[in-house]
Amino acid sequence: MTEAFIFAANSVLPIVILIMFGYVLKRIGLLTKEFLDTGNKLAFRALLPVMLFCNVYGIKRLEDINIGFVLYGILSVIVIFLLAVPVCCIFTKNGAKRGVLIQAVFRSNYAIIGIPLAASLFGDKGGAAAGVMSAFCIPLFNILAVVTLTVFNGSAEKRRLDIRKMLLGIVTNPLIIGTVAGLIAVGIRELFVMYDISFRLSDVTIVYKPLESIKSICTPFALIVLGGRFEFSGVPRLWKDIVFGTVIRTVAVPLLGLICAYMLRNVLNFSGEHFASYIGVFATPVAVSSAIMAKEMEADDELAGQLVVWSSLVSTFTIFIYVTALVMLGIF
């Protein structure tokens, strides 16, 4: 059990440390508000899309996909989203907070924590399963986030919802563009495999190596910018929203997703690598990109940042509990 706790801590605490590093840099004057605003745009419009493209392109083979495994992940996220809407609307009347809380409930930190976590839990098979799931869950997360933050952004409730604008927001969302571009690249690669063409994008070193370099700086940069925007002074004012969002994200959602998966494991032929991926989908903290997107779409970005930080801290302990439980049940 000690090893499970150390593993969970090693997976999540580095994120918290980078956030705190950004907070310290802001306090000593090395990060200005102008830099943080520009950095937020840079992460959202350039760095994160490249990272998502590389993550999706890292999928090995599409023919190895377990359809039941993917469908359960997709349907579960949709069900969690549908449950989150009325629950969060009952909890608060503030439109900007509603959008952020709904997003926090269904949108996990799958790209940054979930995929490496699955690989650590179940080796190459876990990483491969998580890579496959990322091709479906990450676009779904971002589509639902655009819908949520368009409907609930503080000003949307004062006007009739513009469906065309919402669809345009989905199509032009940089994170969705990055993921779709990765899927297209994977599709082309599969055609090359089918026709015995040996050429791969990764063979074009002059292009692929810079992409990998951009991917490597994305996470630390985004976390430092988030830390620079973090304010402890907001905790007393937002503590009810923080507790609500953090508990739902780290306790309610994982229990719902993992228990149902366990009950269906024989029917859908789930194995250890699938549960390793589901921990990434259901049990990891709120996505870092949720705070970045909230700022860009005029939602309550302060609350969004608080939820990223506090859910990351709490998930250090909750992930340990879920991993230990699955070990005791013989899944890992």
Residue 155 pLDDT greater than 60, yes or no: no
Q: How would residue 316 be classed by pLDDT, with cut points 50, 70 and 90?
A: confident
Tell me, yes or no, if the pTM score tops 0.75: yes
- Phi, psi angle pair for 286, to nearest 5°: -60, 140
Give the pLDDT confidence of 88-144 residue by residue, as tens digits: 999 998 988 999 999 999 999 887 778 777 877 787 787 778 878 887 888 899 889
Which whole-number Å values give the CA distances from 181 to 44, 87, 105, 175, 251, in the listed order?
16, 34, 27, 10, 34
Which whole-number Å values give the CA distances from 25 to 68, 224, 226, 229, 233, in the listed order?
46, 9, 11, 11, 17
DSSP 232: G
Please tell me the predicted confidence (pLDDT) of residue 159: 47
Q: How many whole angstroms separate alpha carbon 174 and alpha carbon 135?
A: 15
Mean pLDDT for the stretch of residues 38-43 = 88
Give the pLDDT confidence of 68-89 residue by residue, as tens digits: 999 999 999 999 999 999 999 9
Q: Which CATH architecture has domain 2-328?
A: Up-down Bundle (1.20)
Task: Indicate the domain borders of the chain.
Answer: 2-328
Q: How many whole angstroms separate alpha carbon 322 and alpha carbon 264?
A: 17
